[in-house]
Structure 1
Amino acid sequence: MTSLLNSNIQINKTPTRVAGGPSVGWREASLPGEEQSGQGFEGVSFVQYSSDFAKIVSEEARHALLLSSADSSRNAFFHRGCVHVIEPMAAGGGHGNDDTRNEGEVLYTVSNPLQAASSSQLPVVLISRIRLQRNGVGDIVAAEWAKLRPPSTMTMPAGAIPYSMPTRNGSKSTLGILYCAQGNGSPGTSGLFYMPRGKPPIPLITSYYGRDFHSVYDVACHPRDGSLWFTDMCVGFEQESRKQPRTPCLVYRFHPGTGDLRVVADGLNRPSGICFSVDADTFYVTDTDSIESHGSSRGGGGAGSIFGGLGAGNDQDQDMQRATTIYAYDVLRRAGSDFLSKKRVFAYSLTGALMGIQCDAAGNVYAGCADGVEVWDAGGVLLGVIKVPGSVTSFCFARNGEMFLCSNHQLWWVDLKTEQERRRLEAC
């Protein structure tokens, strides 16, 4: 397994623009030097729509570009499945890292489907494994990047989360990664697959009582009972990678301990990203039906591809009469089971389609879009945008106020902490 090491990571201060009021069309303020140069800011920046955004992003926030394929292969290696985990070191391993507490810090991402060698073959999806190195004060100073081909039994992976599968005695296994596999033309290839570190993937569920899933795309783990909730989008058939769907686009709930599998939401055009609030009382799902994906684009990632378009497109890539919406549901407990009720529009994207979605501990909702990561409070009030060049297709939270952002061809690190918070953590 060959790898590429980037040890020239530059950490920059993240500037903030304040959007104007309705009388000026919510125009963003320019950053220093932009008006004179006529060029936009090339790094990460913040756009504040509400003063409460300052509770999330500090004036001392920083960011860094960790890896990029924009100037080389132009392949979108950082597209989906952004997962941050702590892995044990290999025996006798070492990275030359001054801070040994974080030697096992690893980030995983999934590529956009890449063009196969032959037009008769389906696109290829690769998994990136990025080992992060920090210095004594916790700054990321290097990223070691290796590209991995998924096992043949887990085709076209997409969304992913860290996961420890419960064992028969009730304990949890070693931390691994739970992948959504979109599958290929064969039966039983789309579903949820648990991949323990260093071992082949284990299929957890690959059909709805004998009826194949279509293109399982994103997954969330219920914070209280450990059930797995996942979306199934009917897009593989449009891309000629899957047979004609036997079910509509649905949201499912599966409990690995009991084997209970149920449909929990229908009536969505193209459900993609999902998450729970921290208290698990609210469930969020994004509907990305606006993405232009109709018609064949075999070969992967073309302008008409659902895989290339999701989260990467701007308004010109969308059918503006179709949904790009976050829906919220109440989670109700009835007869020992969870149900969803009171479906409501929570938010509508500012730019492009809504992709990955997550909540923070304060209940704020984050969603990857064509302009970066859009942030709302629990009441649906737009707080601000973490602006990222080239969109955000997947992201994850990490330790102590940090985020990793996938932007198709680029991988970014954002540290939202204040300098005081950083000093306090260094002293611990």
Structure 2
Amino acid sequence: MALVGDAYDYVDRRFYDLTVPTADVEKLYDGCRWAEGPVWFADGGYLVWSDIPNRRMLRWVPDGGVSVFRHDSGFANGNTRDRQGRLVTCEHGNRRVTRTEPDGTITVIADRYRGKRLNSPNDVVVKSDGSIWFTDPTYGIMSDYEGNKGKQEQDGCFVYRVDPVTGELSVVADDFVKPNGLAFSPDERLLYIADSGLSHDPDGPHHIRVFEVDGDRLANGRIFTEVSPGVPDGMRVDVEGNVWTSAQDGIHCHAPDGTLIGIIRIPEMVSNLTFGGPKRNRLFITATRSLYSVFVGVSGAQLP
């Protein structure tokens, strides 16, 4: 375990209460090609994340090291858990969203919309009513590195909702360039969605938008913040409503009003993060080749 010092950049006094200044950033593992999709299993006391180009998912256990959780993973990217504690995964290579059942079998949640294949589902969240919300950019079909190069069949890169009763798939946002990470506010009245279009277009967006959640629809979308350097990718929200998002230089923390209040510097470009540990006060960070962690002064709002 390597320690990374001088990690905190306090832009606003509010960030002091959200950090533990004596807690170092720890490197837990390296050896990935592109680490993504961390998800904490509180009942098992371990973390699972994706190593997309290596087509595998890894598991980290405190004091137990790292092992392979799944191979072949279908170029898995984003992961979360549903209200029954089952793993929900976005598979770039298979162009689908799946659920891992308690017996280990795989159930396909979504792979087509109006008879056409999805692009390459990227990240996913589950609302308290059981509905599943996910983004579908084209990263996994642009080359054979993070998926399988293929034809885009959908008319755009959409954000989808899966109905918890019928399983019906519907588009909730259709005006993104590259919809990416997403997260609900603690009361689920807001949904934050990243657009990382700058990754493949110098004039593309690099912002987070926020929407009001109106049942099975989104309304009154607006830009919450722009992220620089780099692009916003994965994000999480804490119990106080602050938004923690990935960036090229680390984790950026934004207050509920959108103000950047602090940065946790990471020596590799960050892709995603999640809150975990027994008190959900430990950030687990996937960054290019590595997995990092750091204890913070607030707990995560999402399901552990």
Counterpart in the other structure of 1:106: 46
1:405 paired residue among 252, 274, 285 = 285
Aligned to 2:16, what secondary structure does the other structure show?
helix
Counterpart in the other structure of 2:219: 341
Report how far residue 363 of structure 1 moved. 0.5
Cα deviation digits, residues 360-409 of structure 1 (max 9, x gap)? 11010111111111110111011111111112112110132211111122
Aligned to 2:192, what secondary structure does the other structure show?
strand
Cα deviation digits, residues 184-234 of structure 1 (max 9, x gap)? xxxxx32211113551221112111322111111101113x1200000112
- Percent identity between the two aligned chains: 24
- Correspondence 1:53 to 2:15: yes
Counterpart in the other structure of 2:302: none
- Correspondence 1:375 to 2:253: yes
Cα deviation digits, residues 106-125 of structure 1 (max 9, x gap)? 111111314xxxxxxxxxx1
Aligned to 1:393, what secondary structure does the other structure show?
strand
Counterpart in the other structure of 2:59: 129
Counterpart in the other structure of 1:282: 190
Relative to structure 1, is the Cα distance of residues 276 and 221 closer, same or farther in structure 2, using a 3 angstrom cutoff?
Answer: same
Report how far residue 62 of structure 1 moved. 3.4
Alignment of structure 1 residues 214-253 onto 2, 5 Å: 214-223=119-128, 225-239=129-143, 241-247=148-154, 248-253=156-161
Q: Distance in 2 between matches of 1:178 and 1:149?
A: 13
- 8 Å CA contact retained: 1:251, 1:271: yes
Counterpart in the other structure of 1:159: 78
Report how far residue 163 of structure 1 moved. 2.5
Report how far residue 130 of structure 1 moved. 1.4
Task: Tell me which moved more, 155-164 or 375-384.
Answer: 155-164
Normalized per residue, which structure has more strand? 2
Aligned to 1:52, what secondary structure does the other structure show?
helix
Alignment of structure 1 residues 347-366 onto 2, 5 Å: 347-366=225-244
Counterpart in the other structure of 1:76: 33
Counterpart in the other structure of 1:262: 170
Q: Which amino acid aligns with 1:52?
A: R
Aligned to 1:178, what secondary structure does the other structure show?
strand
Structure 1-normalised TM-score? 0.64
Q: Distance in 2 between matches of 1:326 and 1:282?
A: 12
Report how far residue 160 of structure 1 moved. 0.2
Relative to structure 1, is the Cα distance of residues 237 and 127 closer, same or farther in structure 2, using a 3 angstrom cutoff?
Answer: closer
Q: Distance in 2 between matches of 1:328 and 1:390?
A: 27
Report how far residue 277 of structure 1 moved. 0.5
Q: Distance in 2 between matches of 1:236 and 1:404?
A: 24
Q: Distance in 1 between matches of 2:237 and 2:244?
A: 6
1:202 paired residue among 102, 107, 110 = 107
RMSD after superposition: 2.0
Report how far residue 251 of structure 1 moved. 0.4
Report how far residue 44 of structure 1 moved. 6.1
Aligned residues: 292
Q: Distance in 1 between matches of 2:206 and 2:255?
A: 18
Q: Which amino acid aligns with 1:323?
A: P
Cα deviation digits, residues 212-265 of structure 1 (max 9, x gap)? 111111101113x12000001123442162432221100000023222321000
- Larger RCO (alpha carbons 8 Å, 6+ apart): 2
Q: Distance in 2 between matches of 1:256 and 1:156?
A: 25
Query: Structure 1 segments of 4 or more deviating over 6 A?
Result: none
Q: Distance in 1 between matches of 2:208 and 2:180?
A: 10
Report how far residue 149 of structure 1 moved. 4.3
Report how far residue 148 of structure 1 moved. 4.4
Counterpart in the other structure of 2:301: none
Q: Distance in 2 between matches of 1:155 and 1:376?
A: 33
Structure 2, gaps ≥5 residues long: 299-304
Q: Distance in 2 between matches of 1:48 and 1:405?
A: 19
Q: Distance in 1 between matches of 2:157 and 2:21?
A: 42
Cα deviation digits, residues 69-109 of structure 1 (max 9, x gap)? 3xxxxx426x111011035xxxxxxxxxxxxxxxx411111
- 8 Å CA contact retained: 2:36, 2:287: no
Q: Distance in 2 between matches of 1:232 and 1:63?
A: 31
Alignment of structure 1 residues 283-362 onto 2, 5 Å: 283-292=191-200, 319-333=201-215, 338-362=216-240
Relative to structure 1, is the Cα distance of residues 128 and 43 closer, same or farther in structure 2, using a 3 angstrom cutoff?
Answer: farther
- 8 Å CA contact retained: 1:111, 1:126: yes
Structure 2-normalised TM-score? 0.89
